[in-house]
C-alpha cells in the first residue's frame, strides 16, 4: 500500500528498517528526509556522520545488502539513502526484499529507497511506501495539501489563523516552495514564541485571496463585461500564474456543472454551499448562472479549458494563449446570449 508521507509526521509513528519514498514535491521530500533523520538521531552531531547518500545506478542488489549489513562506526544507528533506487541492478528479484530487511536489522541501518511510483508499487507488499506529494481525488489532494501547509508553518515557528492555509493554497496551488518563500517574507516570531499569521498579514504583504478577485472576475464574465480583461491583468499583477488562474476557472466551471444538475430547491442551495465550502449568497449566484447555461455550453467550456491547459504546458506564449481563452469564454457568457435575445427597439 502506498501512503502519504504525512504518516511519518505522526507522533506515534515508528520507522521500519527499510522504507520506500516516492519523490514528488521537492520541499516535502526534504522535510521527509529531515523527519526520518529525527526518528533515528537524537543529536545534531549524529546527523551528517551517520547519513550516507548513494545513487542507485552505482549499486547492485549485492552491494546494497553488503552496505546494509555494515555496523555504524560513529553511533548506534545509520541512515543509508539511495536515490533513483529503481536503477539498482537486481533489486526487484525474488527474495532480495526480505534479505534487505534482514540485513538492515542486523546492521542497525535504516535504508531509504527513493524511486519512481511505477517500480515502488512492486515493492509495496514488502516495504512501506510513502508518496511525497498530495494525491487522490481533488478533495483528498486539497485536504492533504492543507496538512502540509500547517506542517510548514510549524517548522517556521508560526500558527495559521483559520482560512490562511486555504488562501495560500489558492494563491499557490500545491506549490509548497512558493508558500514557504512567501511565509519567509513575514516578520519572524520572537524567540520561543509562536506567531499567529492572519489573513490581514497576507494582505499587508501584497497577497489577495484569489477567491476575492475571482468573484469580480466571474461577475464581469457573467455580464459579458469587457472589464473581464482588466480583472485578468489584476490577477497577474497580484503575482498569480496563468495556470493558477486556469485552476480557479476550472473550479468555477465545475461548480456551474454541479449546480445545474443538483440544485432544485432552496435547501439544495444550502447543501451545495456547505459541500463546496462557499458562502450561501455565492452559491445562489452560481445557481442562477448555471440555470442559464446549457450542457453544450459546459462541454465547450471544458474543451476550451483542456486546450488552454495543454497550450500553456507546451510552452506557448502565455499572454496570447490567455487572451484567446478569455475571448472564447466571452463567447460562452450568459450575458452575451441575454443581449442577443433582447428585443430590438426600432423607434416605430
Residue 138: per-residue pLDDT: 66
- Asked, for residue 339, whether it belongs to a domain, the answer is no
Between CA 211 and CA 213 the distance in angstroms is 5
Residue 338: per-residue pLDDT: 52
Domain extent at residue 177: 138-205
Per-residue tens of pLDDT for the chain, all 348 residues: 899 999 998 877 788 899 999 999 999 999 999 899 888 876 666 676 788 899 999 999 999 999 998 887 777 788 999 999 999 999 999 999 999 999 998 888 899 999 999 999 999 999 999 999 988 876 788 889 999 999 999 888 889 998 899 888 878 877 888 899 888 888 777 776 788 899 888 888 888 776 676 677 788 888 888 777 777 777 677 666 788 788 888 888 999 999 998 888 888 888 888 888 777 888 888 888 888 888 999 999 999 999 999 998 888 888 899 889 988 988 888 876 554 444 433 343
Do 87 and 120 share a domain, yes or no? Answer: yes
Give first-to-last CA distance, the chain, whole Å. Answer: 76
Do 264 and 177 share a domain, yes or no? Answer: no
Between CA 288 and CA 280 the distance in angstroms is 12
Do 123 and 145 share a domain, yes or no? Answer: no
Between CA 44 and CA 268 the distance in angstroms is 56
Do 150 and 216 share a domain, yes or no? Answer: no
- Asked, for residue 347, whether it belongs to a domain, the answer is no
- Asked, for residue 251, whether it belongs to a domain, the answer is yes
- Asked, for residue 343, whether it belongs to a domain, the answer is no
Between CA 197 and CA 161 the distance in angstroms is 6
Between CA 130 and CA 168 the distance in angstroms is 25
Global pTM reads 0.65
Do 125 and 214 share a domain, yes or no? Answer: no
Structural domain total, the chain: 3
* 347 φψ region: left (φ > 0), alpha (ψ -120 to 50), beta (else): left
Beta bridge partners of 260: none
Do 111 and 90 share a domain, yes or no? Answer: yes
What DSSP string runs through 31-92? HHHHHHHHHH-SSHHHHHHTEEEEEGGG-BHHHHHHHHHSPPSSSS-EEEEEETGGGSBTTT
- Asked, for residue 341, whether it belongs to a domain, the answer is no
Amino acid at each position: 500500500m502506498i501512503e502519504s508521507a504525512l504518516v511519518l509526521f505522526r507522533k506515534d509513528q515508528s520507522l521500519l528498517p527499510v522504507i520506500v519514498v516516492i519523490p514528488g514535491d521537492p520541499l516535502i521530500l526534504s522535510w521527509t528526509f529531515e523527519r526520518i533523520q529525527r526518528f533515528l538521531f537524537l543529536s545534531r552531531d549524529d546527523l551528517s556522520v551517520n547519513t550516507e547518500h548513494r545513487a542507485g545506478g552505482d549499486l547492485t542488489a549485492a552491494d546494497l545488502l553488503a552496505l546494509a549489513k555494515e555496523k555504524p562506526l560513529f553511533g548506534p544507528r545509520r541512515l543509508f539513502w539511495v536515490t533513483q533506487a529503481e536503477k539498482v541492478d537486481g533489486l526487484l528479484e525474488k527474495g532480495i526484499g526480505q534479505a534487505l530487511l534482514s540485513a538492515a536489522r542486523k546492521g542497525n541501518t535504516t535504508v531509504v529507497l527513493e524511486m519512481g511510483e511505477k517500480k515502488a508499487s512492486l515493492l509495496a507488499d514488502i516495504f512501506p511506501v510513502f508518496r511525497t506529494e498530495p494525491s487522490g481525488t481533488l478533495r483528498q489532494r486539497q485536504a492533504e495539501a492543507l496538512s502540509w501547509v500547517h506542517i510548514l508553518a510549524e517548522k517556521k515557528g508560526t500558527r495559521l489563523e483559520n482560512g490562511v492555509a486555504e488562501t495560500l493554497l489558492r494563491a499557490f496551488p500545491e506549490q509548497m516552495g512558493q508558500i514557504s518563500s512567501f511565509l519567509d517574507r513575514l516578520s519572524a516570531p520572537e524567540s520561543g514564541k509562536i506567531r499567529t499569521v492572519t489573513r490581514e498579514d497576507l494582505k499587508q504583504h501584497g497577497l489577495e485571496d484569489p477567491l476575492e478577485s475571482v468573484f469580480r472576475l466571474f461577475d464581469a464574465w457573467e455580464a459579458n463585461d469587457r472589464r473581464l480583461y482588466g480583472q485578468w491583468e489584476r490577477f497577474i499583477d497580484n503575482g498569480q500564474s496563468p495556470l493558477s488562474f486556469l485552476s480557479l476557472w476550472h473550479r468555477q466551471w465545475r461548480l456551474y456543472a454541479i449546480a445545474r444538475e443538483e440544485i432544485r430547491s432552496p435547501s439544495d442551495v444550502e447543501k451545495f454551499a456547505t459541500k463546496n465550502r462557499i458562502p450561501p449568497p455565492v452559491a445562489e449566484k452560481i445557481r442562477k448562472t448555471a440555470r442559464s447555461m446549457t450542457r453544450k455550453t459546459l462541454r465547450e467550456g471544458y474543451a476550451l479549458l483542456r486546450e488552454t491547459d495543454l497550450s500553456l504546458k507546451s510552452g506557448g506564449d502565455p499572454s496570447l494563449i490567455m487572451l484567446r481563452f478569455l475571448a472564447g469564454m466571452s463567447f460562452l457568457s450568459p450575458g452575451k446570449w441575454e443581449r442577443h435575445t433582447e428585443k430590438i427597439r426600432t423607434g416605430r
